[in-house]
Structure 1
Amino acid sequence: MAGIFDKQAETYLQARPTYPCEWYSMLAARTSHHSLAWDVGTGNGQAALGVAEHYERVVATDISEAQLSFAIPHPRVCYVHTPQSMSEDEMVALMGGENCVDLITVATAVHWFDHPKFYKLAKRLLRNPGGIIAVWGYNDVVVNPEFDTVSKRIWEASIQFSHSNSRQIIDGYRNLPFPFESVGLGHEGKPMQLEIPKELLFEGYLKLLKSSSPINLAKEQGVDLLSEEVIKELESSWGGPNLVRTVTYKAFMLVGTITE
Structure 2
Amino acid sequence: MPKDLFSEQSEAYFKYRPGYPVELFEYILGYVQDRKLAWDCATGNGQAATILANYFDKVMATDISTAQLKNAIRKPNIIYIKASAEKTGFEANSFDLITVAQAYHWLNWDKFYSEATRVGKSNGVIAIWTYNLIRSDENAINNIIEHFYHDITGPYWDSARRHVDEGYDNIPFAFAPLPSKTFNIQWVYTREDLLGYLNTWSALQTYIKQKGESPLPLISEALYDKWGTDETRVFNFPLSLKLGRIIK
Q: How far apart, in 2, do the equivalents of 1:154 and 1:229 lie?
A: 8
| 1:189 paired residue number | none
Q: Deviations over 1:155-190 (max 9, x none)?
A: 002121111222211222122101112222x2xxxx
Task: Give 1:200-219 correspondences, 5 Å limit.
Answer: 200-219=189-208
Q: How far apart, in 2, do the equivalents of 1:165 and 1:243 lie?
A: 35
Q: How far apart, in 2, do the equivalents of 1:81 and 1:229 lie?
A: 37
For the structure 1 residues 18 and 2, does the alpha-carbon distance in structure 2 shift closer, same or farther, using more than 3 Å as the test?
A: same
Does 1:110 pair with 2:124? no
| 2:40 paired residue number | 39
Q: Deviations over 1:217-240 (max 9, x none)?
A: 112111756343520101222225
For the structure 1 residues 231 and 113, does the alpha-carbon distance in structure 2 shift closer, same or farther, using more than 3 Å as the test?
A: same
Q: How far apart, in 2, do the equivalents of 1:237 and 1:226 lie?
A: 18
Aligned residues: 245
Does 1:248 pair with 2:239? no
- Counterpart among 130, 149, 153 of residue 147 in structure 2: 153
For the structure 1 residues 11 and 127, does the alpha-carbon distance in structure 2 shift closer, same or farther, using more than 3 Å as the test?
A: same
For the structure 1 residues 227 and 38, does the alpha-carbon distance in structure 2 shift closer, same or farther, using more than 3 Å as the test?
A: closer
Displacement after TM superposition at 1:3 (Å)? 3.7
Residue 248 of structure 1 aligns with an amino acid whose one-letter code is N
- Counterpart among 125, 133, 147 of residue 126 in structure 2: 133
| 1:163 paired residue number | 158
Displacement after TM superposition at 1:98 (Å)? 1.6
Q: How far apart, in 2, do the equivalents of 1:2 and 1:43 lie?
A: 13
- Counterpart among 209, 219, 232 of residue 221 in structure 2: 232
| 2:82 paired residue number | 81
Give the TM-score of the pair, scaled to structure 1.
0.89
Residue 200 of structure 2 aligns with an amino acid whose one-letter code is S
Does 1:258 pair with 2:246? yes
Displacement after TM superposition at 1:142 (Å)? 1.0
| 2:93 paired residue number | 99
Which secondary structure does the structure 1 equivalent of 2:81 belong to? strand
| 1:176 paired residue number | 171
User: Greater CA deviation, 70-79 or 215-224?
Assistant: 215-224
Q: How far apart, in 1, do the equivalents of 2:218 and 2:173 lie?
A: 42
Which secondary structure does the structure 2 equivalent of 1:140 belong to? coil
Displacement after TM superposition at 1:259 (Å)? 3.0
Unaligned stretches of 5+ in structure 1?
Answer: 187-191
Q: How far apart, in 1, do the equivalents of 2:208 and 2:95 lie?
A: 40
CA contact (8 A) 2:207 2:215 kept: no
CA contact (8 A) 1:193 1:253 kept: yes
For the structure 1 residues 83 and 22, does the alpha-carbon distance in structure 2 shift closer, same or farther, using more than 3 Å as the test?
A: closer
| 1:4 paired residue number | 5
Q: How far apart, in 1, do the equivalents of 2:143 and 2:167 lie?
A: 20
Residue 142 of structure 1 aligns with an amino acid whose one-letter code is R
For the structure 1 residues 127 and 229, does the alpha-carbon distance in structure 2 shift closer, same or farther, using more than 3 Å as the test?
A: closer
Q: How far apart, in 1, do the equivalents of 2:79 and 2:64 lie?
A: 14
Q: How far apart, in 1, do the equivalents of 2:17 and 2:200 lie?
A: 8
CA contact (8 A) 1:2 1:64 kept: no
For the structure 1 residues 215 and 2, does the alpha-carbon distance in structure 2 shift closer, same or farther, using more than 3 Å as the test?
A: same
CA contact (8 A) 1:25 1:54 kept: no
CA contact (8 A) 1:60 1:77 kept: yes
- Name the structure where strand makes up a greater proportion of residues: 2
CA contact (8 A) 1:24 1:54 kept: no
